[in-house]
Amino acid sequence: MGRSERYAGTAKLLLALAVGLMLFKTVLPQGMIRPPEWLVLPFADWINAVFAFLQNDLGLMAVTRAFSDVVEWLLNVTANLLYGKSRWPNLGPIPWSVIAVTAFMAGYALKGWRLGLISGGTFVWIALMGQWKWAMETLSVIVVAAPFSVTLGLVLGVLAWRSPRFERVLNPILSIAQSLPHFAYMIPVVVFIGVGPKAGAIVTIIFSVPPMIRMTLLGLKKVPEEVIEAGKMSGATRWQLLTRARIPTARSEILIGVNQVIMQCLAMVVLASFIGMPGLGQKLLQLLQSLKIGLSVEIGVTIVLLAVTLDRLTKAWALRLPVHEAASPSWLIRNRLLVIWLALCALGFGLAHFFPYFLEVERKQALSVAGPIDALMDQVIRLITPVTLWLRWFLITWVLIPMRDAYLWLPFTAVLLLLAAVGWAIGGLRSALICVAYFGLIAASGWWDRAMITVYMVCISVVIAAILGIPLAIWGARTPIRAGRILLVCDTAQTFPSFIYLIPVIMLFGVNDVAVVAAVVVFAAVPMVRYTIEGLRNVPPEMIEAADMSGATRAQVLWHVRLPMALPTMLVGANQSVMFSLFMVIIAAFIGTQDLGQEMQRALSSTDVGKGLVLGFAVAFMGLMTDHLITRWSETRKRALGI
Amino acid sequence: MTESVITCRNVSKIFGPNPAQHLVQLKADPGLSQAGYVHAVRDVNLDVRRGEMLVVMGLSGSGKSTLVRCLSRLIEITGGSVTVEGRDIATLSESELIDLRRSKMGMVFQSFGLLPHRSVLENVAFPLEMRGQDRSTRYARAREMLELVGLKGREDYFPRELSGGQQQRVGIARSLAVEPDIWFLDEPFSALDPLIRREMQDEFLRLKGMMNKTIIFITHDFDEALRLADRIAIMKDGRVEQCDTPDQIVLHPATEYVAKFTSEIDRARVVHIGSLVAPLTAPATGEPVAAYRTIRDLARQLISDPRVEIPVINDKGAVIGSVLRQTALDVLLGDAH
Amino acid sequence: MKSIKTLLAGATSLVLLAPAVWAADSTDPIMIPLHNWSSQIVMSHVVGDVFTSMGNSVEYVTTDSQAVYESIRLGDASLEMEVWEGAFGASFDAAVAKGGIHAAGAHNAVTREDWWYPAWTKEACPGLPDWKALNECAALFKTPETGEKGRFLGGPVDWLKHDQEKVDALAMNFAVVNAGSAAAIWAEIGAAEKTKTPIVVFNWTPNFAEAVWPGEFVNFPEWVPGCNEDPSVGPFPDKTFDCGNPANGYMKIAAWDGMKDKWPAAYATLAKVSLTNPQIAEMAKLVDIDGMEPEDAAKAWMDANPDVWKAWLN
- Does the distance separating the beta carbons of A378 and C194 come in below 8 Å? yes
Residues in chain C: 314
Question: By C-alpha distance, which of A212, A242, A90 is closest to A148?
Answer: A212
C205 in the same domain as C152: yes
The answer to whether the CB atoms of B109 and A244 lie below 8 A apart is no
Most confident of A198-212, B270-284, C149-163, C285-299: A198-212
pLDDT at position C7 over 70: no
**From CA C179, how far away is CA B73, in angstroms rounded?**
70
Q: Which of B130, B106, B103, B105 is nearest to B118 (CA)?
A: B130
Partner A, chain C 38-67, Cβ-Cβ below 8 Å: 38, 41, 57, 60-64, 66-67
CA–CA separation, B39 vs A147, rounded Å?
47
Contact (Cβ atoms closer than 8 angstroms) between residue A433 and residue A50: no
Contacts of C101 (CB under 8 A, 6+ apart): C69, C72, C73, C92, C95, C254, C255, C256, C257
Query: Tell me, what's the pLDDT at C15?
Result: 44
CA distance A632 to A635: 5
Residues C7 and C102 in one domain: yes
B17 and B147, same domain (yes or no): yes
pLDDT tens-digit map of B122-169: 999 999 999 889 999 999 999 999 998 889 889 889 998 999 889 999
Using the Cβ of A541 and the Cβ atoms of chain B, whether some distance falls under 8 Å is answered with no
Give dist(CA A194, CA C74) in Å, integer. 9
List, for residues C245-275, the tens digit of each pLDDT value: 888 888 999 999 999 999 999 999 999 999 9
Chain length of chain B: 337
Mean confidence (pLDDT) of chain A: 89
Cα C164 from chain centroid (whole Å): 23
Q: Is B199 exposed, middle or buried (CB count within 10 Å of its CB: 0-12, 13-18, 19+)? A: middle
Contact A516, A585 (CB under 8 A): yes
SS3 A144: helix
In degrees, rounded to 5, the angle at the alpha carbon of residue C273 between the alpha carbons of residues C272 and C278 is: 140
Residues whose CB is less than 8 angstroms from the CB of residue C114 and which lie 6 or more positions away in sequence, other chains included: C202, C203, C204, C217, C218, C220, C244, C245, C247
**Where are the strands (E) in chain C, listed by range?**
30-34, 58-62, 79-84, 101-106, 112-118, 150-154, 174-178, 200-205, 215-217, 251-256
Q: What is the pLDDT of residues B15-35, one digit of tens each?
A: 988 888 888 888 887 777 777
At residue B273, the pLDDT reads: 85
CB atoms within 10 A of CB B137: 11
Q: How many residues does chain A have?
A: 643
Q: What sign does the dihedral B238-B239-B241-B243 (CA atoms) show? A: positive
Interface residue B117 vs chain A (CB under 8 A)? yes
Same domain as C70, residue C44: yes
The CATH number given to A59-94+129-322 is 1.10.3720.10
Is C298 among the domain residues?
yes
Cα–Cα distance, B50 to A576 (Å, whole number): 62
Q: Which domain CATH number covers B209?
A: 3.40.50.300
Q: Is B241 helix (H, G, I), strand (E, B) or coil?
A: strand
Q: Which residues of chain A have pLDDT under 50?
A: 1
Please indicate, yes or no, whether residues B197 and B285 belong to a single structural domain of this protein.
no
Domain with C63, as residue range(s), is 2-110+249-310
Question: Contact, A602 vs C157, CB < 8 A?
Answer: yes
Neighbours of A316 (CB within 10 A): 19
C-alpha torsion angle, residues B268, B272, B273, B275 (rounded to 10):
-120
For residues C56 and B293, give the distance between their C-alpha atoms in angstroms, rounded to a whole number.
100
pLDDT in tens, B47-94: 999 989 999 999 988 999 999 999 999 999 998 999 999 899 999 999
Specify whether the CB–CB gap between A172 and A617 falls below 8 A: no
Q: What DSSP string runs through A179-203?
A: HS-HHHHHHHHHHHT-SSHHHHHHH
In the stretch 325-364 of chain A, residues with CB closer than 8 A to chain B read 325, 327
Tell me if B41 sits within 8 A of B70, measured CB to CB: yes
For residue A606, give the nearest of C66, C191, C195 by CB distance. C66
CATH number at residue B296: 3.10.580.10
Nearest to C188, CA basis, from A177, A146, A507: A507
H or E stretch including A539? Answer: none
Interchain CB distance below 8 Å, A507 and C182: no
Ranges B179-193, B291-305, C120-134: which has the least confidence: B291-305
State how many domains chain C has. 2
Q: Which residues of A564-584 are buried (b: 16+ CB within 10 A; e: fewer)?
A: ebbbbbbbbbbbbbbbbbbbb
SS3 C295: helix
pLDDT of residue C3: 46
CATH of residue C191's domain is 3.40.190.100
Task: Among C68, C182, C194, select the one facing A381 at the smallest CB separation.
Answer: C194
Angstrom distance (rounded) from CA B285 to CA B281:
11
Last residue of a domain, one of C217, C233, C265: C217
Q: Is the pLDDT of residue C12 over 70?
A: no
Residues of B in Cβ contact (< 8 Å) with A249: 115-117
Distance set, CA A9 to CA A2, A14, B244 (Å)? 11, 9, 64
Cα dihedral A267/A269/A274/A275 (nearest 10)? 140
Q: Are A553 and A619 in contact (CB under 8 A)?
A: no
Q: Is B224 helix (H, G, I), strand (E, B) or coil?
A: helix
Nearest CA in chain A to B102: A235
B323 close to B287: Cβ distance less than 8 angstroms = no
CA distance B63 to A148: 46
Does chain B touch chain C (at least 3 C-beta pairs within 8 Å)?
no
**Neighboring chain C residues of A402 at a CB cutoff of 8 Å:** none
Asked if the C-beta of C229 comes within 8 angstroms of chain A's C-beta atoms, the answer is no
Same domain, B62 and B187: yes
| Chain C residue numbers touching A511 (CB-CB < 8 A) | 153, 177, 179-180, 184-185, 187-188
Q: Which residue segment(s) compose the domain that B180 sits in? A: 4-266
Closest of C38, C84, C209 to residue A283, by C-alpha: C38
Does B195 share its domain with B329? Answer: no
B246 and B226 Cβ atoms separated by less than 8 Å: yes
Same domain, B105 and B77: yes
Count of CB atoms situated within 10 Å of the CB of A518: 24
C67, C145, C178: residue with CB nearest A195? C67
Cβ–Cβ contacts within 10 Å for residue A629, how many? 22
Give burial (CB, 10 Å; 0-12/13-18/19+) of B326: exposed
Mutate to test the interface with A, among B115, B119, B172 (most CBs of A within 10 A): B115
Task: Name the 3-class secondary structure at A41.
Answer: coil
One domain for residues B203 and B316? no
pLDDT at site A643: 66
Q: Which of C201, C217, C233 is the last residue in one of the domains? A: C217
The minimum CA-CA distance between C249 and chain A, rounded to whole Å, is: 22
Cβ neighbors of C79 (< 8 A, separation 6 or more) are C30, C32, C33, C47, C72, C104, C253, C254, C255, C256, C259, C270
Shortest distance between the Cα of A412 and any Cα of chain C, in A, equals 26
Q: Given B266, B292, B307, which residue is the final one in a domain?
A: B266
A235·B98 Cβ contact <8 A: yes
DSSP state of B179: -
B62 contacts chain A (CB < 8 A): no
Distance from CA of A328 to the nearest CA of B (A): 11
Is A320 near chain B, with CB under 8 Å? no
Instruction: Point out which residues pair with C34 in neighbouring strands.
Output: C62
Same domain? B50 vs B147:
yes
Instruction: Say how far apart CA A283 and CA A300 lie, in whole Å.
Output: 10
**C-alpha dist (Å) from residue A168 to A174, A218, C11, C208:** 10, 14, 65, 55
| Residues 77 through 116 of chain C touching chain A, CB cutoff 8 Å | 77
**Do B107 and B167 share a structural domain?**
yes
CATH code linked to domain A376-409+447-641: 1.10.3720.10
- Inter-axis angle of helices A513-537 and A448-476, to 10 degrees? 40
Q: Are residues B87 and B118 in the same domain?
A: yes
Average pLDDT of chain C is 84
Same domain, B220 and B261: yes
**CB distance from B143 to chain A under 8 Å?**
no
* C228 inside domain: no
Question: Which residues of chain B form beta strands (DSSP E)?
Answer: 4-15, 38-49, 53-58, 79-84, 87-88, 105-108, 182-186, 214-219, 231-236, 239-244, 289-290, 309-313, 319-324
Cβ(A192)–Cβ(A129) under 8 Å?
no
* Residue C2 confidence (pLDDT) above 70: no
CA atoms within 13 Å, Cβ hemisphere of A182: 29
pLDDT at B334: 74
Chain A residues in contact with B116 by the CB 8 A cut-off are 248-249, 251, 322
pLDDT value for A216: 95
Q: How many domains does chain B have?
A: 2
B260 shares a domain with B274: no
Helix/strand/coil for A74? helix
Q: What's the CA angle centered on A286, arms A283 and A292, to 5 degrees?
A: 100
Q: Are residues B195 and B325 in the same domain?
A: no
